[in-house]
Amino acid sequence: MDIIFLHGLEVECVIGVWEWERRITQKIVIDLDMGWDITKAASSDDLNDTLSYKDVAKRVSAHVQNVKANLVERLAEDIANILLGEFGCQWCRVRVNKPGAVTGSKDVGVVVERGEC
C-alpha cells in the first residue's frame, strides 16, 4: 500500500484532564500516515487524483481545536475516524504527541492504527 504522510503538524488546543489545563492552550504534535493508492495521481500528475494533505491538515487542526478533549487517546481516535470516514483512506496511523506533559520526558503520546493494511 502507498502511504501519504503528514508529520509534525503542530496545533494549539485545550487538552488535558486537570483544571489548570482546561484554562490554557497547549501544543500537540500530530503525525499522520495515510494509506492511499497513488497510481492514478502518479500517472495524471493532477491534484484532484490524490489525497490533499493540505485539506487533511486543515480539517484535523480545526477538529482538534474545537473538540477540547481531555485525552490524547480521544484525539487519536477522532482523527483516525476522520481520515477513514471523510477522506476515504484505506488505512491510517495516527500519532498524537503531547510534548512536555511529563516532567523529565521530551515527549509522550499515543499511536493508533486503523483500517486495512
Annotation says 98 is catalytic: yes
First to last CA, the chain: 7
The letter for the amino acid at 91 is: W
Closest Cα partner for 81 from 37, 38, 113? 113
Question: Are the C-beta atoms of 60 and 82 separated by less than 8 Å?
Answer: yes
**Of residues 27, 58, 68, 98, which has the active-site annotation?**
98
Q: How far is CA 29 from the centre of its chain?
A: 8
Query: Hey, which residues are catalytic here?
Result: 98
